[in-house]
Amino acid sequence: MSKKNKNKTTRPDPDIADAGGDDVTATFEALDLDSIESKAKANGHDVATERGHEGPAEHDAPEPHSFDRKSDVPTIRSLGRLEEDLMRLQQSWADVEQQLSAKDSEIAYLNDEREVHIAAFRSLQSDLDEQLDENDRNLEQIASLEERMREMESRLEDHNQIVAGRDVEIDQLKAAVADEQQRYEVLHSERDRLKDDVAEAVAERQKALDNSKRIEQELLNKKTDMLDLESYIDRRKGEWDQLTAKLDDAKAAIAGMQSELELRERTISQHDEVAGVLHSKIDELKQQCAELDGRRAERELANKELNQLLSEKTTELEALRKERDDATEGSKVMVTRIQDQQIRISSLEQEVSELSGRIKQIRKTADDEVEQAQRRAREEVADYAKRLEAAEADADRRAQAADHAEKRAADAELELKRNDDAMEMLRDVNKQLENRLIDESSRVSEISDELSRAHADKIRLQTEYDSFQNDTEQRLEANAELIAKLESELDMRNAAIEALEKNADKLGAINADIQKLDRLIVEGVQSSERRLSTMTGRTLTLAVEGMPHIKFPIYKSCMTIGRGSDTDIQLRRKFISRRHARLTEDADGVRIEDLGSKNGVYVNEQAVTDSYLHDGDIVDIGEVKLKFVEEEQAA
């Protein structure tokens, strides 16, 4: 038997094993040792004469009873020698019965353990199906949340653009105030010109008085004109006083506007400080998200460590195939590792609870800051309303005074109208500030949304923790499945041993039946290999990439792949559908078809729906990489 055939007989075909057991039983039933012994006693023949009359050694096993199949005449030996051989056979049979009883108790214990493992495996399988469905739903929710996050980021960029536009409007308002200052300077220059006019009038009066002294005769003629001139000068003085008072009022109004502008600039700076604080809070939240990403990387590293532990466990399970007692020690090691994982999971839960506390504290601080900002905004709005009422009352008074003024009063009224325009501008600024307050409130709502996203991140971490727990359960299920396979192989071997030991009294046919059993096993393996080969003498297998000892033979012309229990190749991993793909073998080769899976089928990193496979192709199904191997059969 070649090395290749020996490797393939580690898991014999159940149909072949059953056929071999039936042939052994039929052979043992055909050979009736009691009839041979009675026939030997009746004829008085000695079986040992065929060996040259050499008796067996004192401690050797008795020679099997045989007869010449050509002549059908058994050799004769003495009756006393035959009775001595029968006593030795009975003693050997008693020893065999003791061993069989020990084997029966051990097999009963293993059967009980197997039933327990099967029940646990079925329970874990149902839980795993539910967890996989829940994971699919969670993945869809995560995708929708990521889409909402992108929308919120675009809205934040729009908000920043609006804030930049508001800054430009504030600069325009400052430019308008500078224009008002220039207009004030123009009025001041006009007042200086009026002062010069008054000084010239006074000089003319003085000159007229001098002329009246020199020309006394003309004084009488000019007296009326002088009186008119004095009345005109008095009128001009009154007008000058009124203009001076109006200019003082305008100065006071401009000073009030400047103070209001400074107050609003301080308010804007305070809002900018609040915005800076909010941005710092956002940066802190982003930093916390980065910390969460770091923790996720740590969990991925822990998953890699668990994969390494899984490879070590696979090595231990390979050792279990050699010796049954090591399975108990491996189970103890597995229990210890599960306890370590539970301790680690508890530490992760504690970290999640700490993160929840921090998020609650951040939310409380943000709510307090929002409440303070709203209170300050309400106070500022009330103050602005009072100032607007005072400014409107002052504007009404100025309008009443302007009704009784003459030409320069009309100019002052025009100035008041300009001041009214400035007040309207201030009202617009107030509205802009109110809009900015609304924008700040929207920014606060955005921060609340960010806190909600942080809560969503917490849920995502919980989902990752559940996925990590599911992966651990899947590894435990894989280990339990390997243990079940080992136990089934052990049961098959024990069954073969039991079949041989139950017929130990038929010692004459044991050697021939063992040879026949070996021949049947070899023929069964060869027939199994013929079933696994194609018409051209090929052996087709799918090997798991990175795990060469795990292979899935293609033993049918049509096989299905998925995580469902009704598939031919069952892969219990994430991102694999219940019925994911189908393998079909025809005269042209083996081709793979996508059965409408969610994540698709990739051959050599290319998405395919129906493609033929060649030797060495890498098939990606979910997170599992399978290598298609086509081995040529020796002639």
HEC string for 506-566: CHHHHHHHHHHHHHHHHHHHHHHHHHHECCCCEEEEEEECCEEEEEEECCCCEEEEECCCC
Angle at CA of residue 164, ends 159 and 168, nearest 5°: 145
490: left (phi over 0), alpha (psi -120 to 50) or beta: alpha
**Per mean pLDDT, which range of 165-174, 273-282, 420-429 is the poorest?**
273-282
**Longest CA span, the chain:** 202
Q: Provide CB contacts within 8 A for 24, sequence distance 6+.
A: 499, 500, 503, 513, 516, 517
- Rounded Cα–Cα distance for residues 320 and 329 (Å): 10
Lowest mean pLDDT among 495-504, 568-577, 620-629: 495-504
Residue pLDDT, tens place only, 376-421: 656 765 665 676 667 666 666 665 655 565 566 566 567 667 766 7
How confident is the prediction for the chain on average, in pLDDT? 67
As given in the structure block, the two tokens for residue 166 are: 């508001």
Identify whether the C-beta of residue 553 lies closer than 8 Å to the C-beta of residue 532: yes
Kindly report the pTM of this predicted structure. Answer: 0.23
| Residues 422-471 pLDDT 10s | 667 766 766 776 777 677 667 667 766 776 776 777 777 777 767 777 77
Which pLDDT score is estimated for 336?
Answer: 66
Pairing of strands 569-570, 558-562: parallel
Q: How far apart are CA 216 and CA 214, in angstroms?
A: 6
Share of the chain above pLDDT 90, in %: 6
Confidence of residue 604 (pLDDT cuts 50, 70, 90): very high
Which pLDDT score is estimated for 583?
A: 93
- What's the rounded Cα separation, in Å, for the pair 518 and 524? 10
Worst-scoring range by mean pLDDT, 77-91, 400-414, 613-627? 400-414
Cα 572 from Cα 563, distance rounded (Å): 5
Rounded Cα distance, 427 and 418, in Å: 14
Query: Across 423-432, 468-477, 604-613, which has the greatest mean pLDDT?
Result: 604-613
557 pLDDT higher than 70: yes
**Do the beta carbons of residue 545 and residue 100 sit within 8 Å?**
no
pLDDT at res. 548: 63
**pLDDT at residue number 348:** 59
The residue type at 410:
A
Backbone angles phi, psi at 543, to 5 degrees: -105, 135
Say how far apart CA 526 and CA 532 lie, in whole Å. 10
Query: In the 8-state DSSP scheme, what is residue 596?
Result: S
pLDDT tens string 179-189: 766 776 777 67
The CA distance from 616 to 375, in Å, is 72
Q: Is the dihedral of CA 433, 438, 441, 446 positive or negative?
A: negative
pLDDT in tens, 108-126: 888 887 888 787 777 777 7
Per-residue pLDDT reduced to its tens digit, 34-71: 444 454 445 444 433 433 444 444 444 444 444 444 44
Copy the structure tokens of residue 341: 């994982």
The predicted structure's pLDDT at residue 339: 63
DSSP state of 64: P
CA torsion angle 21 22 24 25 (round to 10): 120
pLDDT tens-digit map of 223-263: 666 677 667 677 767 777 777 777 777 677 777 776 776 77
pLDDT tens per residue, range 306-332: 667 666 766 665 665 565 555 555 556
Domains in the chain, please, with CATH?
3-118+485-529 (no CATH), 119-484 (no CATH), 533-632 (2.60.200.20)
